[in-house]
Chains A and B, each alone.
Chain A
Amino acid sequence: MSGFEVSRNDYDHISVLYLSGFLDAHTAPKFEDGLQKLIKEERVKIIVNLKNLDYISSAGLGVFMGFIEEIREKGGDIKLSNLSPKVFKVFDLLGFPALYEIYEDEIQAKTKYSETK
């Protein structure tokens, strides 16, 4: 089975999750845990950096969906950055760009948070 890792870095009021490997139904709980932890710590300004994500399935996208309502209610957001074309295609196919802000890189996403602070 292919691996999947979540790591995290906190910058001031923003937290960045770095996903790598394969995000599918099997590995989704790991990502869910990561997001759940952030919510518990009330760190809801979240950037998910997908630079090293090789593959994402609909189930992986489901994790994003499962938390967005709660996070936005708490005044936060999930912004995405560094999507490879292959990963972006899945997001695009399922209509995610209409619901989530997607940025070229992490800095742009951070800037966006700073603007709306």
Chain B
Amino acid sequence: MSDYLNSFRLRNQEKIDSNQMDPRHLELSSLFEFSQTLNSSLDLKSILDSLLFVPMGRMMIGKGMVLLAVNESACKIATVKGLPADLIGSTFEFNDKPGDVVLINSDSDYSNLPEIFIKNKIKLLIPIKSMNQVTGMLVLGQKLLAPGFNEDEIHFLSSIGNIAAPAIENAKVFEKLNTVNRQLDHKIQELNTLFEIGNELNRLFDQKEILKRLSYSLMGQMLINQFFVAVKTDNTLKVVYKKGSIFSEENINKCLKSGIGKNDFQTPLRIEQTEEQLKNKFCDFGIKIIVPMVVQDQVRGYIFLGSKLNKTGFSESDVEFLSTLANIAIISIENARLFQETLEKKRLEEELNLAKNIQTKLLPDTMPVISRYDVHGYNIPSKSVGGDYFDIIKLNNDEFIFTIADVSGKGMPASLLMSNLQAGLHTLHQENYSLAEITFRLNNLIYKNTSIEKYITFFIAKLNIPQNKIFYVNAGHNPPYLFFKDGNYEELSTGGIILGMMADMPYEIGELQMKPGSYLTMFTDGVTEAMSPDDQPFEEFRVIDFFKQEIAKPVSCEQINLKMIETLYKFAGDPTKDDDITILTLSRKE
């Protein structure tokens, strides 16, 4: 500014002295106003516009443009007036940009200048300099009324260029700052989205809900509405979520079969950047980018994305975002799966416990008092639901039924079959059937209700107290023993085939005398097959030896049962590890 004022004074000393300076005063004030306008704005476009409008208006120039240096050898057209608007934004080569005003008087003056100046009949080039560098140029056509520019006008325009230079620089910095700020805001938005979805997904244990949330974030952040998610189950990709209309079932299947998933890739694949063959394949489907979903270096699925709605490509930052989002989502999906599995397991366990409880309730919880007799039954279920069963049913004051059974298999099926047997027995005994008939009917019932590999070993005995007699049927159960005081014993094997194998089988009734001091013991194979640490089964002979020894002096059935079990624990460690243990003992008091 001071340059201009000095030269103004120098050139117009005479007129200043003679007070003839009104038009110059006007020029000066317009410069001042221009300077104020420029410095009050940080908007590059409005600065450049006033940079053109001021000289065009004052000197009646029909066209002009402002160039900004892109680098040493090129310029960009930043704005134009009176020239086609599509010139804005174009760049052209411009080496050795003149540092001083260039006034073009004849065609030969164009010789060293870019073609664009001839084409648009440019008459005046005014450099815009910042720190001695030409950073831009004010370019004007000719005046509409008077030809040429006089010295004052050139000085004036040159000053305008100088004044504009810092304002342009500031605006450029401001613009850059704005861009950076916007990028930062965008990044923050991305992080917020990731943070939010992370929080949200931690709360969810349902795959459908997780995918829904994933889709919101994906669509909102990426401006897309065409994508699908495929997750691996048993090493094959299965589509679990799909949005948008461009992915038909057929295309998706082709796409999944195209080899994706066989050769896993751990980083997002931009289709445009892949080899031609793959590119064609996926472009046909409208897929632009494939983002792997990775858990601990394992690819567990992919997100396939179509184009963004605003037609821009996926930036580096977008790809990073997608990758992180995909990984967060797959972890949640995995967790949800594990959670569901745990729930399922827990539900099963609860059901098993329930079944166990029901089963325990099917067994007698108190022992009946039978005059002149003593009875005790004991069942230790193994960890899972077992299939052992025993029961004591009072028919009348003189008659009692004792039964023991072992259902094949374990768990729920065995338990169900056992309750079936129990219900059958409790119905049948009321009908005044003989033991053989009861067993015959039970066999048919079980045969009808089960497959061939399910069966029950069954023993049923009826005690007649006045006669002190035992009637019994043994349907394939390991034989109970009746021990006498003198050390002899009887094996109770009369009967027939196991229940549930064949229909309409006959059963025979066995009969024995209960002498005073004798013990009838019934048990399941959990006793005889209890294994010692060196894999020896307990076997029948140990049961027989045990009872022979124990009944030498009078002992209650409860005591002898508990001692039997104690012996089993000593022998086998935990005899209930593999099977239930059931013992039912009846003795006639002396």
Scoring A60, A89, A93, A99 by chain B CB atoms within 10 A of each residue's CB, the highest score goes to: A93
Q: A6 interface residue, CB < 8 Å from B?
A: no
- The residues of A that contact B217 with a CB separation of less than 8 Å are 25, 58-59, 62
List which B190-209 residues lie within 8 A (CB) of chain A.
190, 192-193, 196-197, 199-200, 203
Which of A36-44, A46-54, A65-73, A77-85 makes up part of the contact surface?
A65-73
Tell me if B582 is interfacial: C-beta within 8 Å of chain A.
Answer: no
Contact between chains at B196 and A57 (CB < 8 Å):
yes
Closest to B321 in A: A58
Q: Is the Cβ of A58 less than 8 Å from the Cβ of B192? A: yes
Contact of B186 among A24, A59, A93 (CB under 8 A): A93
The answer, yes or no, to whether B9 is at the interface (CB within 8 Å) is no
CB B312 to nearest CB in A, in angstroms, measures 7
**Could you tell me the distance in whole angstroms from the C-beta of A54 to the nearest C-beta in chain B?**
15
Map CB proximity to B onto A6-46 as digits: 1 under 8 Å, 0 otherwise.
00000000000000000011101100000000000000000
A69, B244: Cβ atoms closer than 8 Å: yes
CB neighbours (8 Å) of B244 from chain A are 69
> How far is it, in angstroms, between the C-alpha of A9 and the C-alpha of B182 when the chains are bound?
36
Q: CB distance B200 to A25 under 8 Å?
A: yes
Contact call B310/A95, Cβ cutoff below 8 A = yes
With A25-B213, A28-B216, A58-B217 as known contacts, state yes or no: A66 contacts B192, CB within 8 Å. no
Q: Is residue A87 within 8 Å, beta carbon to beta carbon, of the partner chain?
A: no
- Closest A-chain residue to B243, C-beta based? A66
Contact across chains for A94 and B216 when beta carbons are under 8 A apart: no
Report A-chain residues with C-beta under 8 Å of the C-beta of B193: 57-59
**Which residues of chain B have C-beta atoms less than 8 A from A29's C-beta?**
212
Interface of chain B, main secondary structure: helix
Is A64 in contact with chain B by the CB < 8 A criterion? yes
Given contacts A68-B225, A94-B221, contact A62 B185 (CB under 8 A): no
Asked if A96 lies at the interface with its beta carbon under 8 angstroms from chain B, I say yes
In-complex Cβ contact of B223 among A57, A89, A95 (8 A): A95
Is B225 a contact partner of A65 (Cβ separation < 8 A)?
yes
Residues of B within 8 A of A65 (CB): 219-220, 223-225, 309
Number of interface residues of A (CB under 8 A): 25
Closest to A90 in B: B189
Whether the Cβ atoms of B220 and A89 lie closer than 8 Å is no
The answer for the CA separation of A112 and B255 in the assembled complex, in Å, is: 42
Q: Are B189 and A62 in touch, CB under 8 angstroms?
A: no
Pick the residue among A25, A63, A96 that contacts B196 (CB under 8 A).
Answer: A25
Supposing A94-B220, A99-B309 touch, asked if A62 and B215 sit within 8 A by C-beta, the answer is yes
B69 within 8 A of A: no
Question: A62 vs B189: C-alpha distance in the bound complex, in angstroms?
Answer: 13
Provide the residues of chain A in CB contact with B182, threshold 8 Å.
Answer: 93
Question: Could you say which residues of chain B place their CB within 8 Å of the CB of A94?
Answer: 186, 189, 220-221, 223
Nearest-Cβ distance from residue B492 to partner chain A, whole angstroms: 70
Contacts known (A25-B197, A89-B185, A95-B312); A64 close to B220, Cβ less than 8 A: yes
Q: What is the CB-to-nearest-CB distance from B329 to chain A, in angstroms, rounded to a whole number?
A: 12
Chain B contacts for A59, CB-based, 8 A: 193, 196-197, 200, 213, 216-217, 220
The complex places the Cα of A68 from the Cα of B511 at a distance, in Å, of: 87
Give B225-253 interface residues, CB cut-off 8 Å to A. Answer: 225, 243-245
CB distance from A13 to the nearest CB of B (A): 25
**B287 CB within 8 Å of chain A:** no
Residues of B within 8 A of A26 (CB): 200, 203
| Contact A62 B196, beta carbon cutoff 8 Å | no
For residue B401, give the distance in angstroms from its CB to the closest CB of chain A: 63
Does B218 count as interface, using CB distance less than 8 angstroms? yes
Instruction: Knowing A57-B193, A89-B185, A93-B189, say if A99 contacts B216 (CB, 8 Å).
Output: no
> Are A60 and B220 in touch, CB under 8 angstroms?
yes
Complex CA distance for A57 and B189, rounded to whole angstroms:
8
List the A side residues contacting B199 at CB < 8 Å: 25
Measured between beta carbons, the chain A residues less than 8 angstroms from B223 are 65, 94-96, 99
Provide the bound-state CA to CA distance between A58 and B218, in Å: 8
Contact partners of B243 in chain A: CB under 8 A: 66
Residue pair B196, A98 in contact (C-beta under 8 Å): no
Q: How far is the CA of A68 from the CA of B243 in the complex (A)?
A: 12
Contact B221 A28 (CB under 8 A): no
Min CB gap A108→B, angstroms: 23
- How far is B185's CA from A89's CA once the two chains are assembled, in angstroms? 9
Nearest B-chain residue to A68, judged by Cβ? B225
Please, how many angstroms separate the alpha-carbon atoms of A93 and B185 in the complex?
7
Please judge, given known A-B contacts A59-B196, A66-B243, A90-B189, whether A99 and B218 are in contact too, CB under 8 Å: no
Q: Which residues of A contact B309 (CB under 8 A)?
A: 65, 68, 99
Given contacts A93-B189, A95-B312, contact A66 B219 (CB under 8 A): yes
CA distance A24 to B189 in the complex (A): 12
Shortest Cβ distance from A25 into B: residue: B200
Min Cβ gap A55→B in Å is 10
- Find the residue from B186, B203, B223, B245 having the highest chain A CB count within 10 A: B223
Q: In the complex, A90 Cα to B188 Cα: how many Å? A: 11
Enumerate chain A residues within 8 angstroms of B215, measured Cβ to Cβ.
62, 66
A67 CB to closest chain B CB (Å) equals 8
Are the CB atoms of A66 and B189 closer together than 8 Å? no
Q: Is the CB of A28 within 8 A of B225?
A: no
Chain A to chain B: the 6 pairs with minimum beta-carbon distance, closest first: A61-B220, A62-B216, A62-B220, A65-B219, A62-B219, A58-B220
A-B contact pairs, 11 of them (CB 8 A): A57-B196, A58-B217, A59-B216, A59-B217, A62-B221, A65-B223, A65-B224, A66-B215, A66-B219, A68-B225, A93-B182
